[in-house]
Structure 1
Amino acid sequence: MNNGIVKFFNDQKGFGFIKDDKSGQEYFVHVSGLVDEIRESDEVSFDLQEGRKGLNAVNVQLV
């Protein structure tokens, strides 16, 4: 599991980005990869999974 902060999330469109605490990289997150509802600036834990355009955050849950 990785930890990070929700940098951006659009409820209407169902996607956003999470910034990893350790690497500083940003990962795409889709509403289908959420365990909990998230908002911008929430601290979350997540797994990474290969998607169409690179790694995506999945199993995203609040810390």
Structure 2
Amino acid sequence: MGSEKPRKKGKVKWFNASKGYGFITPDPDGNSMGVEEIFAHQTAIQMDGFKTLDEGAPVTFVVEQGPKGLQATDIRPDTDAA
């Protein structure tokens, strides 16, 4: 089956496009691992065009341990949340 990591759901807390990063608030029912926010970098956003996130937008992502704590990778718009 492989070692694919489970996808989490959450909402964008804030994202600063000029700085290229922000934070995601994981959904409380989505096994948030006890954290209130997860770091999100522009390079982890999977979308066409300019990679940015709108505040409050629903997203799905994978959580990995980064050099300074947990970070979101493979960030995608949550099209099922609409």
Q: Tell me the TM-score normalised to structure 2 length.
A: 0.71
Amino acid at match of 1:16: G
Unaligned runs of 5+ in 1: none
CA RMSD of aligned residues (A): 1.2
Q: How many residues align?
A: 63
Which has the greater radius of gyration? 2
Deviations 1:6-44 (A, max 9, x none): 000000000000000023620000001110342111000
- 1:57 is aligned to 72
Unaligned runs of 5+ in 2: 1-6
Deviation above 3 Å: which 4+ runs of structure 1? none
Matches within 5 A, 1:32-47: 32-36=43-47, 37=51, 38-47=53-62
- 2:18 is aligned to 12
- Quick one: percent identity of the two aligned structures? 37
